Amino acid sequence: MIVDQGLHITIAVLFTALIVHKFTDLVRKPTNPAMWGLWGSLAGFGFGLTIGVDVVFKAMDRLAPGSPWWLQHVLLCGAGWALQVFFTHSIEQGHAARRRALRWGLVFLAGQALITALYVPAYLRGDVAAMLRHDFVHAPLAVLMNVVYVAYIGVVLVTVARMAWTWAEVADRAWLRRGLRLIAIGSAVSALLPLHKIGYMSAVYLGRQPPWSEFKWSFYPAAIGVALATAGSLVPKWGPRWDSVRQWWLHYRSYRRLAPLWAALVEAFPEVQLEEPYRPGRDGHRLDDLRYFVYRRVIEIWDARRALRPYTSRAHRDAAIAAAKAEGLTDAEITAVAEAVTVAEGLRARASGHGRRDDDHAPKMPGGSDLAAEVAWLERVAVAFARAEAR
């Protein structure tokens, strides 16, 4: 049992919630063996942890003496096999997947048969009680039984780590790939628990007591591994949502950064504005809503820029380019500064009512022709435009 009952109860409640949540997926896909494997793994782990809660363990022991430890570890081992089934059917198809899952099932049954064969005499001799007190010297059968159990868990963790990493290599979705790698790393870290537990019990049984707590040094890799694996299982679902939030913020930031340039041009040519500016409360919070308004703002800037052409001067552009080169700016910065100066001078010329005889052309936007490239370049123009207007 986990010593910290508060942590134990919290984890049990968490897994119970996951069992209920994933059951809806199972109802939607009742013929999917991978889904059955995932749900079975959650169920085995959740119910196994629930048995380890002190009040549940004692109540079961009163009703069926000796049953809680055995049933708990059967469920935990079953959760490991179900997890192998999930990954096997997720990576392989058809007969090959069924054959591999069956092979792991036979290993599970053999392990449980051996654990049961050792548990019955160990319980009758009092070895189990001695083992729970960490009195391994007087619990040889219980120690051997526990070695079989943790060795099986170690095999499961190693195979899950290998399969998760293999699946990550061929996954076509970035967040799925990241999640699988986290699961693989978490499983590999958790595999240190069986190694430490077997080594610790063996050392005590041989009369060499290690100078540290068996529980604490078994708990750390388990806690870290479970945390990583849990994060990995959540990443494929929540990662894309984080991307959407991040993309929304980037679009909103771009929308705000374009505002000074857009406002100056629309003030001079109000006919290019087809809609009111974006407001989150009125126009929605979805990413598609904001993407539309950014696109709309870019179009309105270029429409106004086209209307400004009779007032722009090639001479001003050439002078701005020369000054920018003298400052050692990059090519992208030079183009942006030249455009900003051209727009600022053109707006001044229009305000004074004087057109230009050497009217300039609208520049070809560097860096590509997609929306992201246009927005990035226009943001640099907007920054340079604010400086040009301040002069």
Find the mean pLDDT for residues 293-316: 88
Output 368 or 109, whichever has higher pLDDT.
109
The pLDDT confidence band at residue 1, using thresholds 50, 70 and 90, is very low
- pLDDT > 70: percent of the chain: 86
The pLDDT confidence band at residue 102, using thresholds 50, 70 and 90, is very high
Instruction: Determine the Cα–Cα distance for residues 306 and 45; give it in Å rounded to an integer.
Output: 66
Instruction: Determine the Cα–Cα distance for residues 79 and 155; give it in Å rounded to an integer.
Output: 13
Please, what sign has the CA dihedral across residues 210, 216, 219, 225?
negative
Query: What CA dihedral angle connects 60, 66, 72 and 78, to 10 degrees?
Result: -130
User: 278 CB contacts (<8 Å, ≥6 apart)?
Assistant: 255, 289, 290, 293
Instruction: Determine the Cα–Cα distance for residues 225 and 189; give it in Å rounded to an integer.
Output: 5
DSSP-derived secondary structure for 211-249: SS-HHHHHHHHHHHHHHHHHHHHHHHHHHHHHHHHHHHH
Q: Does the pLDDT value for residue 2 go beyond 50?
A: no
The structure tokens listed for 184 are 């693989």
* Amino acid found at 264: A
Residue-level pLDDT at 196: 84
Q: Picking from 111-120, 166-175, 285-294, which range would have the lowest pLDDT averaged per residue?
A: 285-294
Output 266 or 207, whichever has higher pLDDT.
266
Instruction: Determine the Cα–Cα distance for residues 225 and 120; give it in Å rounded to an integer.
Output: 32
Say which DSSP state 370 is in: S
Q: Does the pLDDT value for residue 361 go beyond 70?
A: no
The pLDDT confidence band at residue 152, using thresholds 50, 70 and 90, is very high
Note the helical H segments in the chain.
Answer: 5-28, 33-52, 54-63, 67-91, 94-125, 127-132, 140-170, 174-190, 192-205, 214-257, 259-268, 280-283, 287-307, 314-326, 331-352, 371-390
Q: Does the pLDDT value for residue 22 go beyond 70?
A: no
Q: Does the pLDDT value for residue 4 go beyond 60?
A: no
Helix (H, G, I), strand (E, B) or coil at 293: helix
pLDDT tens sequence across 133-151:
767 777 788 888 888 998 9
Residue-level pLDDT at 13: 73
Find the mean pLDDT for residues 204-227: 77
Instruction: Determine the Cα–Cα distance for residues 16 and 74; give it in Å rounded to an integer.
Output: 18
The Cβ of residue 208 has, within 10 Å, a number of other Cβ atoms equal to 8
pLDDT tens sequence across 330-359:
887 888 888 898 899 889 888 887 766 555
* Amino acid found at 8: H
Helix (H, G, I), strand (E, B) or coil at 280: helix
Q: What is the pLDDT of the chain when averaged over all its residues?
A: 83
Residue written as tokens 């009217």? 359
Output 300 or 217, whichever has higher pLDDT.
300
